[in-house]
Structure 1
Amino acid sequence: MLFNSQPFLLLFLPVVLAGFFLLGRRSPVAAAWWLAAASLFFYGYWNPRFLPLLLTSVVLNYRLGALLRSRPSRRWLAVGVAANLLALGWFKYAGFLAASAHLPVPDIVLPVGISFFTFTQIAFLVDTCEGKASEGRFAHYLLFVTYFPHLVAGPVLHHKEMMPQFANRAIYRPRALDFAVGVTIFVAGLAKKVLIADNLAPYANAVFNHGGNPSLLLAWGGVLAYAFQLYFDFSGYSDMAIGLSRLFGVRLPLNFASPYKAATISEFWRCWHMTLSRFLRDYLYMPLGGNRHGKARRYVNLMVTMLLGGLWHGAGWNFVIWGGLHGIYLAIHHAWSALRLPLGRRAAMTITFVAVCYAWVFFRAADLHGALAYVAGMSGANGIALPDAFASRLGGLLPRVERWGITFYGGGGSQFIDTWSAVAAAAAIVFLCPNTQQIMARFAPALDSGASGASGASGASGAHRPSRLAWAPTRAWGVVIGVIALLDLLSLNRPSDFLYFQF
């Protein structure tokens, strides 16, 4: 079931909300069971055959958590982590490993959200073994893992963040402010998805799916369209998850905070998929030694962490290269920082964004050969070309333009103009407008809305600070959100998956 679908908005959500608050008046435990059951239905709506896998994973991890709570043991923790990773590895990486070894590729369907509920439960086991988490009620643990706003595309949750909220009896009584804040954030996220991301997709697909050797402007138009499509798609999902959860009086951790305004690649990762960055830092980078054993070891740890982070996103060499590029970027950033050479924020933002866009090519391209050809086009190896329709418009400037190395190719210029117009509009929203958390900051919509990014440093260009364009529960804002909601509903005729569902 999709957040951006009529069955979810008109049937599932109203019924779940009504049942949650009606049961919550009498028994918070019954309300927790109701919400957990609704979350299982939400998950099973995709493909019921994966429900046994999810439930088996939940039961086994709950039992192991109970064992670790009573008798902390690194050996049993290692068994639990290995079992979770083996399940994830079979469903997500068996085909990739078999193909790489030139063996018969098994026919395996990837369960939706397996990466998210696996990492969530690994974090729970580690925290339980270290005495940071404790859960005695199976209903609460089931809800913690399956809670539908986060289940299929994050954020990656910590038990200590979520379950104290469900233990608070106040959330089981509906509050007008929670509904106003939640609906506003959800409508904003839905608009990012259906009004912006889905309309950028055709421009990115037209270039990436065409193949061949794109020229400079064509290649950059396609990768920028994809960069902004992915931005608004993931930002939209993150907003919708936060808004939906706020309807239940529960705050999710912030997962997205204007990453393209980052001036360094470290800052980018503090603002893009923040809970995954936190997980990789706390449960991989730091156990490997972090920066505690010298510069060389630090760079190795960064590279290992980002390579595995790339593999987490997908089973393929393109994702390995994407993660490796970000590992190299991080190493370069730390080496540059050690030199203490000044670099203006705008220049640093531009360099960071260009580097991220180059890496996105490997994230989006169908195969390695296509990605390398695309990167060559972005770098000018295939020259600069414009549609033939532009030649007649240039008039007397045509000879000078051709001396600059610009050529012309067949076809009109409407697609070219439309692509770059869409890219320019998206860029204006990304770089010039406040993000949702800034607009809603006065009402603390997420757990760390007014705090720092995932690694404890300030967010990209004040990405968490309140904006002058601050939301308030007023009639004027109600009209604005109502108009956006109407536009959202009119765009639900062809609901599309979120890009992060495939990871």
Structure 2
Amino acid sequence: MLFNSLEYLLVFLPIMAIAYYFLIRKVNKVAGINLLIIGSLFFYTWWKVEYLALLMSSIVLNYVAGQAIMKYKGISKPILVFGIVLNLATLGYYKYSGFFLGMFDYEHLVGSIVLPLAISFFTFQQIAYLVDAKQNKIEDNSFRSYVLFVAFFPQLVSGPIVHHKDVLQQFSKDYRILLDSKTIAAAITIIAIGLFKKVVIADSLAPHANWVFELGNQGAVIPAVLAWSGSLCYTLQIYFDFSGYSDIAIGSALLFGIQLPINFNSPYKSASIIDFWRRWHITLSTFLKDYLYIPMGGNRHGEFNRHLFLMITMLLGGLWHGAGWIYVIWGGMHGFALVINHLYRKKIAIHFTDQFRGGQTYHLTNWLITFIFVNLTFIVFRSESLLSITTLTTGLFEFTTGMTDAMVDKGVFILGTSPLVSLVLIGLLCLVVKALPNTQQILDYKPRENFSEQAKWQPGIVFAVTTGIILIISLYKIIGNGYSEFIYRFF
């Protein structure tokens, strides 16, 4: 796929950026926006040309529905319901029909369906657009802006799930885009950091995690040192994979002067599961809150209903990630943890003194509990069966069982080291994630009117050299070892 290949960074993205820069400088912004539309549709076509018709049909139907909702107030609700049902039915057919029919052994009725690229993301974006059209929250009604809002290639594949208020205004012909050296330098730096996270860190962690989880799938007895190293390895892999993608998406958009919302904000620094979901896949959490949890009733109908709505939201959030019971269980675990967290804050934490709650010991304890819980849930998320889940979670406490000679001989360890050294290296990487600033903190990136004029970050020789080094290392890694797909590509 184009986004997961070297050609994206070396060919497609630079050509698009140079052509866009020329058009908005020498012609006008509309010409540049038209180029982005053509390039985005080409980008989608590169993956599977027959699904371009699906994407365009979805865009046209939702745009027409949105216009009708805003124009015909008397029948806006039936149009909204029809639009939402049509979107969910399309998503359900491609993503969930085999899963639900499989419960009754009827999956053969739909055959083998290839999941269209990004359908989960552009479906949610357009549902939000329709709901906001009903509430008169749409400011830019142009079809040109709407097409780019849905199909903009930096965020099309795996998010963020962009809300129309975040980008539609930026696509309008009257919005001022300042593409100066500082903005371009920041864009390249963010892309370089994201690429390094993905191909150097995440892809280097993947072999060990894959090997340990495969042992779990086979039902092998896994000693604690291996269960912890394998599970933590995947927890870090998905972190750097998703964080890397988010950086590349933001950097790619910024290369065109477009500022995407932050979708990933150091979630492993969280000292509670509530805070974790304010930092992990932020745009998905926001969508679920604004368009599912709050419409169901939110916290307006008593404590019991609030917790019930929260559980339903997280169960559906888990199902959004994939058509399988594993994802439902994962979502349910997080829903239950969120309920417990809210109850803890309301019933227990309020009795602690401010000094105690503000202390380092209290914070570190909460952080450790949160991190271990997240790691346990990612065992569920990554496993292919209940056998694998049971094997790996049991292995976390197998302190008396050593590794067999066969495991040692066939083992895949971090940097070719031993099991214990691998665990130590992974532990150190966990501390790095906890302690170091993230990409947006380093560059002072916040979605605002203009990055160049407001960001405090100042590029210099240190940033230039660092960016060049990590780019060279990342490209060398790609050329030598290939480039795996982003994990969230499959959701």
The change in CA–CA distance for 1:169 and 1:491 in structure 2 (over 3 A counts) is farther
Amino acid at match of 2:8: F
Q: Match for 2:462 among 462, 476, 484?
A: 476
The change in CA–CA distance for 1:409 and 1:21 in structure 2 (over 3 A counts) is closer
- CA–CA distance in 2 between the matches of 1:283 and 1:296? 20
Equivalent residue number for residue 90 of structure 1: 93
Equivalent residue number for residue 122 of structure 1: 127
Deviations 1:3-22 (A, max 9, x none): 45321122111221122222
Are 2:211 and 1:203 equivalent residues in the alignment? Answer: no
- Structure 1, 84-93 or 72-81: larger mean CA deviation: 72-81
Equivalent residue number for residue 104 of structure 1: 107
Equivalent residue number for residue 485 of structure 2: 497
C-alpha RMSD over aligned residues: 2.2
Equivalent residue number for residue 364 of structure 1: 382
Amino acid at match of 1:357: N
- CA–CA distance in 2 between the matches of 1:409 and 1:86? 46
Q: Say if 1:21 and 1:173, in contact at 8 Å, map to a contact too.
A: no
Deviations 1:219-277 (A, max 9, x none): 11111000000000000000111111111111100101110111111100000000000
Equivalent residue number for residue 8 of structure 2: 8
Structure 2: state its 5+ residue gaps: none
Once the two structures are TM-superposed, the CA of residue 50 in structure 1 deviates from its matched residue by 1.2
- Structure 1, 3-12 or 277-286: larger mean CA deviation: 3-12
Q: Say if 2:270 and 2:367, in contact at 8 Å, map to a contact too.
A: yes
Q: Say if 2:95 and 2:115, in contact at 8 Å, map to a contact too.
A: yes
Equivalent residue number for residue 59 of structure 1: 60
Q: Say if 1:253 and 1:447, in contact at 8 Å, map to a contact too.
A: no
- CA–CA distance in 2 between the matches of 1:291 and 1:74? 24
**Any idea what SS the aligned residue of 2:222 has?**
coil
The change in CA–CA distance for 1:2 and 1:196 in structure 2 (over 3 A counts) is farther
Q: Say if 2:178 and 2:450, in contact at 8 Å, map to a contact too.
A: no
Q: Say if 2:65 and 2:83, in contact at 8 Å, map to a contact too.
A: yes
Equivalent residue number for residue 186 of structure 2: 181
Equivalent residue number for residue 329 of structure 2: 321
Equivalent residue number for residue 313 of structure 2: 305
Deviations 1:120-148 (A, max 9, x none): 10111111111101443222111010001
Once the two structures are TM-superposed, the CA of residue 170 in structure 1 deviates from its matched residue by 6.3
Q: Match for 1:278 among 271, 286, 292?
A: 286
- CA–CA distance in 2 between the matches of 1:421 and 1:478? 32
**Any idea what SS the aligned residue of 2:401 has?**
strand
Equivalent residue number for residue 375 of structure 1: 393
Once the two structures are TM-superposed, the CA of residue 329 in structure 1 deviates from its matched residue by 0.2
Q: Say if 1:192 and 1:233, in contact at 8 Å, map to a contact too.
A: yes
Equivalent residue number for residue 385 of structure 1: 401
Equivalent residue number for residue 367 of structure 2: 349
- State how 1:21-170 maps to structure 2 within 5 Å: 21-25=21-25, 26-72=27-73, 73-105=76-108, 106-167=111-172, 169=174
**Any idea what SS the aligned residue of 1:257 has?**
coil
Q: Say if 1:192 and 1:236, in contact at 8 Å, map to a contact too.
A: yes
Q: Say if 1:303 and 1:327, in contact at 8 Å, map to a contact too.
A: yes
Larger helix percent: 2
Q: How many residues align?
A: 463
Q: Say if 2:145 and 2:168, in contact at 8 Å, map to a contact too.
A: yes
Once the two structures are TM-superposed, the CA of residue 427 in structure 1 deviates from its matched residue by 1.2
- CA–CA distance in 1 between the matches of 2:157 and 2:429? 26
Equivalent residue number for residue 416 of structure 1: 419
Q: Say if 1:39 and 1:148, in contact at 8 Å, map to a contact too.
A: yes
Deviating 4+ runs (over 6 angstroms): none
Once the two structures are TM-superposed, the CA of residue 210 in structure 1 deviates from its matched residue by 1.9
- Structure 1, 1-10 or 309-318: larger mean CA deviation: 1-10
**TM-score, with structure 1 as normaliser:** 0.87
Once the two structures are TM-superposed, the CA of residue 410 in structure 1 deviates from its matched residue by 6.1
- CA–CA distance in 2 between the matches of 1:120 and 1:295? 30
- Structure 1, 349-358 or 6-15: larger mean CA deviation: 6-15
Once the two structures are TM-superposed, the CA of residue 32 in structure 1 deviates from its matched residue by 1.4
- CA–CA distance in 2 between the matches of 1:55 and 1:3? 20
**Any idea what SS the aligned residue of 1:492 has?**
helix
Amino acid at match of 2:20: F
Once the two structures are TM-superposed, the CA of residue 418 in structure 1 deviates from its matched residue by 5.1
Q: Say if 1:245 and 1:251, in contact at 8 Å, map to a contact too.
A: yes
**Any idea what SS the aligned residue of 2:69 has?**
helix
Q: Say if 1:253 and 1:448, in contact at 8 Å, map to a contact too.
A: no
- CA–CA distance in 2 between the matches of 1:186 and 1:310? 29
**Any idea what SS the aligned residue of 1:149 has?**
helix
Q: Match for 1:257 among 253, 261, 265?
A: 265
- State how 1:206-217 maps to structure 2 within 5 Å: 206-211=211-216, 212=219, 213-217=221-225
Amino acid at match of 1:384: T
Once the two structures are TM-superposed, the CA of residue 445 in structure 1 deviates from its matched residue by 4.5
- CA–CA distance in 1 between the matches of 2:52 and 2:337? 39
- CA–CA distance in 2 between the matches of 1:384 and 1:185? 45
Q: Percent identity?
A: 43
Equivalent residue number for residue 20 of structure 1: 20
- CA–CA distance in 2 between the matches of 1:194 and 1:279? 29
Are 2:435 and 1:432 equivalent residues in the alignment? Answer: yes
Q: Say if 2:223 and 2:403, in contact at 8 Å, map to a contact too.
A: no
- CA–CA distance in 1 between the matches of 2:488 and 2:267? 16
Amino acid at match of 1:22: F
- CA–CA distance in 2 between the matches of 1:328 and 1:174? 46
**TM-score, with structure 2 as normaliser:** 0.90
